[in-house]
Structures are given as structure tokens and as C-alpha cells.
Amino acid sequence: MSADATESWKLTLPCTRDEAEAIDVSEGLEGIAGSPVIITSEEIEDDPDSWRLDAFFSGKPGKAAVAAVRALAPSSAGVKATPERVPDEDWITLSQAGIEPVHAARFYVHTSGNKGDVPPGAKAFQIEASRAFGTGHHQTTTGCLIALDALKVNGKRFRNIVDIGTGTGLLAFAALHLWPRAHATASDIDAAAVDVTRENAAVNGVPLGAGPGTLALAAAPGLEHPLLIGRAPYDLIVANILAGPLIGLAPTIAMALAEGGTLVVAGLLDWQADAVTAAYRRQGLVPSGRTQIGDWPTLTFRKRARYGAARTTRLGPGGANDAPGFGSW
């Protein structure tokens, strides 16, 4: 007799910190029955070899699903992988029980099952562990939240913002909170991530739309979408993706950035920072800040005014060209 598809199952494996940080659930698990929610956690503090991977399934996982999860943690090759039935409880809540809220600058990110006490003056966002990256728990997302807050503290004002590779939508939500009169856009190459962003926007009261103070969504690789092209140039671009795509997209991102505009990038490791910086320097951007969390830097750039012969002159949403502190575009 086959297991009830509504049963909850869990597979636990040891892993390393490097394996945990490299996990991309969108790769290798698509199409597998009971596609799992993956949670990684530190077993022994400051020991990069003592981490744990928990995969929660709705329904007993088959051999293919177990093999796919095991492939996420090659260091567990010698460990027996035995799924266990979870008692009839809310398995999503269980999977998130070990996720602690994140307090980054003025932002507080939590799940529905572990809100805790929101610090006074903090802006809280409820972001569930899901099939999209960007819950605020990875150093790259946290670094971007801190970098965005620093821009606000330093008096920067933005009117046209885009978050490329938005994942859960968290960084777009944070930017719109900091600059509530801005036009904001969030995009991701994965249509599922755009759906997750739409769901999270509803949960967090972020209005969707095309006008100031609202968030527009698009599924697209990089900036290859009529909406993204039509709303350029942007005075703030956030791209929390990976070093390779960041370097490959440098000419396109630089072209979409308004003169004097700001770029925040993350998703790269320390040893990749020089190559990413060089790619954007070649496009007329100069480093203006760096936030470091562990091995993961978040880099901030400013685009030089009147750089190159092909100067961007088209206006962004609203038509005005008086973004304070950034000149005209």
C-alpha cells in the first residue's frame, strides 16, 4: 500500500557549510514528487564541517528524491540516508522551526512560525522558507539589507529602483520601504520566484502596480524584458545573484543605470570581488562601499556622470529628472 501523499517525511543528512551555502533547490529537484523544502543549520558553532541538511517532503520520498537530496551534500556519501515519517503536524512550520529571525540594520525578517519580538523601530517582513532564494538568512541577502539601509542613512534618495534576481522579493520590499515614493521593479529568471514574490507581497502589504510606491514584477533573464527596458534608466539597481552572471551582465546593467546612479551587488565570495569590481569599473562605475559578512562581500558602486559617448537620456517612470544628488539623466 502506498503512503498517503499528505504524509510528512523528513530526510536528515550531515553537510558542510560550503555545501549548505551552495545549495540551489531549483536545480536537480524539479519534477520530483513531493519536492522538498530544504533547511540547513549549523550543528557546532564556527565549525564549517559540522552542518546539517533537513529535507521535508509532503509524501514519502522515492529513491530518485533521496538521491537528489544526497547530491546536495556530497560529504554525506558514507552516511545512510533513511527518510523518517513526521507526525501529523504542519510540516512547513516544522521545517522552519530552527530558523531564527534576522535583524539586519532597521529590518527584521522572520517566518510565520518564529516571529519572536520585533525590535522597537524595526521594519518586519514575514518571509517563509520556500522554493525561492532570499529569506534574509544568507549573508548575501543580509549584506544587501545593511547596504540599502546605509544608503538611506547617508541621505540617498531614489525614484526608480529595480531588484534583479529578486528571489523572495525581500530586497525589493526593503528598498520600497526606504523610498516609499519610488517606482520599484523586481525580476527573476525563475518564474516560480516571481510567483513567490507576489505571494510575499500580499503577506507583507506591499502594493503591486506600475505607479510610484508600488512594485512591478517580471520574469526575465537579466534585463531582457519589455517592462525592464521600458522603465530604465534606474537610479538604484540591486543584483544579488552570482559572480559569473554579475560579470556577464555588467554592460547591460551599467547601460540601464542612470548617470550618478547606485548599484548594489552580492552573491559573490571574497576571492571573486576583484573580478566583479573590474567588470564594473570598465563600464564607468566606481566602488563606493563594501559590506562584509563572513566570506560574502556586498559591493556598492556609483556610475560616473556623462560616462562614454552613448549617454542615457530617456526618462524613467514619471518623467521627472530631478533625482536629488544624482543630476539629470
- At 163-173, the pLDDT tens digits run 999 988 999 99
Which CATH number applies to 139-303: 3.40.50.150, 3.20.20.240, 3.10.20.740, 3.20.20.30?
3.40.50.150
Predicted local confidence at residue 3, as pLDDT: 39
pLDDT higher than 50, residue 248 = yes
% helix / strand / coil in the chain, to the nearest 5? 25, 25, 45
Q: What percent of the chain has pLDDT over 90?
A: 47
Domain ranges (residues) in the chain: 8-95, 139-303
Residue 240 labeled ligand binder: yes
pLDDT value at 222 more than 70: yes
Q: How confident is the model at residue 1 (pLDDT cuts 50, 70, 90)?
A: very low
Mean pLDDT, the chain, whole residue set: 82
Question: Is residue 213 marked as binding?
Answer: no
165 assigned binding-site residue:
yes
The pLDDT assigned to 30 comes to 55
Q: Report, as an integer, the average pLDDT of 147-159.
A: 96
Cα three-residue angle 244-156-237, rounded to 5 degrees: 25
The per-residue pLDDT for 268 is 87
8-95: CATH topology: Alpha-Beta Plaits (3.30.70)
pTM: 0.67
For residue 46, say whether it is annotated as part of any ligand binding site: no
In terms of C-beta distances under 8 Å and separation of at least 24 residues, what long-range contacts does 27-31 make, across chains too? 28/68, 28/71, 28/72, 29/65, 29/68, 29/69
Which stretch of 48-62, 86-100, 217-231, 313-327 has the lowest confidence by average pLDDT? 313-327
Most confident of 48-52, 129-133, 176-180: 176-180
Is 155 a residue whose pLDDT tops 90?
yes
- The pLDDT value recorded for residue 306 is 65
Check residue 186 and give its pLDDT: 96
Q: Is 205 left (phi over 0), alpha (psi -120 to 50) or beta?
A: left
Pairing status of strand 183-188 against strand 215-219: parallel
pLDDT digits (tens, 9 = 90+) for 290-316: 999 888 899 999 998 864 444 444 434
